[in-house]
Chains A and B, each alone.
Chain A
């Protein structure tokens, strides 16, 4: 990535993830090829609804069978899964 001096760069940008979810409750079962062992927490974020680019995300903090702690969200507005830290 190339940046010129004076420009700022946001940290913690979402990156696309390959997720297989449960069709009944939307809970992730496999994330980037790793099987989910359990869900630690889930929360909903609805923000920026007052301007032209509103955000609606369902976040999941999960632990995979290999012991990784991962935060992923499902974009409820445009679709797609993303990983974020």
Chain B
């Protein structure tokens, strides 16, 4: 702990304490898998298929060459010709990250995931649960994660992130106090920390070019000047540098429901569509669905060339109709960059029960028509052929009244 840091106990702490869990280069680590030696050499995540040609997370050795997440691929290779490109593994990252979030939630934390490798939760509600001190909460989080992570705590999310980025794996960093203490702690830190927030990721470079190297210098700038030069992004960055930040928005822990299919040989085209149909049928048949519709699903595949592919598919309206689901999913499956050897379909969010489906209303119309037809036949059988007639307009605009409408048999 440094100057602004201190011990916070359950009885004395009345201010908001946010804990940040940071796993640096999480996506690169997962994509590298067993090849840990890659992380000691210049390496970066290759651009995602179909996406912008920019590299993903980079190893420390690559960063020494000036290669960072978001560097254009051409520029990255020019800066570091020996750069190894690691195929991205979005499905593996999502799975692993979900497991870690569930572990954090298992200690009672309401977690807000910012991006894979970075999550925050409020410590205040957990103090009594874990012995009354922040240190014990941090220890519980570290124990639950079961893997090395940097932990930081502070009065705002950004301050906690800054603390976590300066913490060591076994020594969490805690910034005690409120907004003023957070601003004082952040004042000496580099503006590069703004990379940690999705909204301000593009700001550090222009700020550095203008000679603004620390968050303290950014906080000291007039608000109007920052707004003129950087707009809403700049204003948010200045607020963060002043120790202020928005409230946490914890996620609702999702229900996990997924179906997976090992493909005997790498498939694509029509065969892959059939595999998808099988997955949809299996998913809809799961008892855990309890008659609910599906609002959002995640389609992922393990590619035969290595790496994975993942696509999140929110349906226009909640569905339980396999045909309509297939129509939506088959279009996404066409974007698969290479033949797949494993296909997975998981539910991300459920919709209301199936009884709200439009197809059932259509069936009701058909049933009503069928009943009406039956009633007409029974009336004709009882009262003769003219028992059911209907008025039919034949020449509605005719000037001769008797030509306008006729009586005709019902069907």
Determine the distance from Cα of A2 to Cα of B400 in the docked complex, in whole angstroms.
25
Which of B75-83, B208-216, B248-256, B403-411 participates in binding chain A? B403-411
Residue of B380, B391, B408 most packed against chain A (CB within 10 A): B408
Q: Are A14 and B402 in contact (CB under 8 A)?
A: yes
Contacts of B404 in A (CB 8 A): 11-12
Contacts of B386 in A (CB 8 A): 2-5
Q: Are B409 and A5 in contact (CB under 8 A)?
A: yes
Contacts of A84 in B (CB 8 A): 401-402
Measured CB to CB, the closest approach of chain A to B398, in angstroms, equals 8
Q: Are B405 and A12 in contact (CB under 8 A)?
A: yes
Question: In the complex, which residue of chain A has the Cβ closest to the Cβ of B388?
Answer: A5
Q: Are B406 and A10 in contact (CB under 8 A)?
A: yes
Contacts of B400 in A (CB 8 A): 45, 47-48, 55
- Of residues 357 through 399 on chain B, the ones whose CB sits less than 8 Å from some CB of chain A are 380, 385-386, 391-392, 399
Contacts of A2 in B (CB 8 A): 386
Q: Are A10 and B403 in contact (CB under 8 A)?
A: yes
Interface majority SS (helix, strand, loop, mixed), chain B: mixed
A6 in the interface (beta carbon within 8 A) = yes
With A11-B391, A12-B404 as contacts: A6 and B399 at CB distance below 8 Å = no
A9 in the interface (beta carbon within 8 A) = yes
Q: Are A9 and B385 in contact (CB under 8 A)?
A: no
Determine the distance from Cα of A11 to Cα of B389 in the docked complex, in whole angstroms.
12
Contacts of A5 in B (CB 8 A): 380, 385-386, 409
A24 in the interface (beta carbon within 8 A) = no
Q: Are A12 and B402 in contact (CB under 8 A)?
A: yes
Contacts of B406 in A (CB 8 A): 8-11
Determine the distance from Cα of A10 to Cα of B399 in the docked complex, in whole angstroms.
15
Which 6 pairs between the two chains have the least Cβ-Cβ distance? Answer: A5-B385, A9-B407, A12-B401, A8-B406, A8-B408, A12-B402
Can you name 7 extra interface pairs (CB under 8 A) apart from A8-B406, A12-B401, A47-B399?
Answer: A3-B385, A4-B385, A6-B409, A8-B407, A8-B408, A11-B406, A12-B405
A/B interface sample: 9 pairs, CB < 8 A: A6-B409, A10-B402, A10-B403, A10-B406, A11-B407, A12-B401, A13-B402, A14-B402, A47-B400
